[in-house]
Amino acid sequence: MQQQAYITISEEVQTALQEQRPVVALESTVIAHGLPYPANIEAAGAMEQAIRAEGAVPATIAIDQGQIRVGLSSAEIERLATAKEAQKVSRRDLAVTLATGKLGATTVAGTMLCASMVDIRFFATGGIGGVHRGATSSFDVSADLTELSRTPVLVTCAGAKSILDLDLTLEYLETQGIPVLGWQTDELPAFYVRKSGRRLPHRLDDITVVATTAQAQWANQLHGLVVCCPIPEPYEMNPAPLEAAIEEALELAHQQGIRGSATTPFILGHVAKVTEGESIESNKALLINNAQWAARFACAYFEL
């Protein structure tokens, strides 16, 4: 059976691809696991709207009934937003989720992989995964980083999630040869926080340079690249209480034996509870901001 037999593309996305118009992929884990209802469906709709407003086409990706679905309908997004049993799907999980016909929400790595299968090169997410705190003993390193090293997709994000070990995450990205570009910033953004204190090797302030960098990357058979956009300033959180909430969540996760793919949703959920929903509003804001910039980068690339 050929790969195409496992892929269903919406008419809107298929037409855009055939006409070589800009398309921006969106993950579905943020809908199923990243945000509570109804914030998840609000964010999903706002991200798609932001992409369309810039002249690009959104393609939210998920797995359902043995198919990789590229470009979800509003009813499919609603189902993901309220599903209790959606699986998190990374590269490791794709084949078995397809074979069993279960509902699956794609992670950053899973979305990159599925997007590249249909030649979508631009992707907007919240924050990439990375090297988890304590990874020197747990070896807990997100598959997102490995996927970036082998899949030709530009990922627009608010840096890496602040619950991670940001120093080791940057080291791992460098080892894998993944360009990390600061969009109008010299520092790695830390998801809810605009600055992390970690200087980036490259800062870009011109959209055309982002597009030509992507063009050069892929023309030379190189793979993924990360463009980091700081969270909009009005939604930035206070770093000190945020860090305290993260440390508390990490300790609770350790006590309860929560590991692997369950760790990030647990910690984000605890932070949302402690901050009385402030982190949810910040998360929505950075998601929409990243979608908007990803669409602008995609449009600039297709204008080259």
Q: Is 271 annotated as a binding residue?
A: no
Q: Is 153 annotated as a binding residue?
A: no
Catalytic residue among 27, 48, 76, 236: 27
SS3 at position 276: coil
Give the number of other Cβ atoms within 10 Å of residue 262's Cβ: 14
Phi-psi category of 301—alpha, beta or left, where left has phi over 0 and alpha has psi -120 to 50?
A: alpha
Q: Is 144 annotated as a binding residue?
A: yes
Say which residues have a Cβ less than 8 Å from residue 174's Cβ, sequence separation at least 6. Answer: none
Is 27 a residue of the active site?
yes
In angstroms, how far is the first alpha carbon of the chain from the final one?
A: 36
Is 233 a residue of the active site?
no
Burial of 240 (0-12, 13-18, 19+ CB in 10 A): exposed
| Listed residue (36, 89, 28) closest to 58, CA to CA | 28
SS3 at position 78: helix
Q: Is 195 annotated as a binding residue?
A: no
Query: Are the C-beta atoms of residues 179 and 226 closer than 8 Å to each other?
Result: yes
Q: Give the number of C-alpha atoms closer than 13 A to the C-alpha of residue 106, restricted to the C-beta side.
A: 32
Q: Is 108 annotated as a binding residue?
A: yes
Distances (CA, A) of 227 to 72, 88, 259, 268: 25, 24, 28, 22
Q: Is 205 annotated as a binding residue?
A: no
Catalytic residue among 76, 161, 187, 284: 161
- The span from the CA of 156 to the CA of 51, in Å, is 13
Instruction: Please state the residue numbers annotated as binding site.
Output: 88, 108, 140, 142-144
Instruction: Please state the residue numbers annotated as binding site for Mn(2+).
Output: 140
Q: Which sequence positions are flagged as catalytic?
A: 27, 161
Instruction: Please state the residue numbers annotated as binding site for substrate.
Output: 88, 108, 142-144
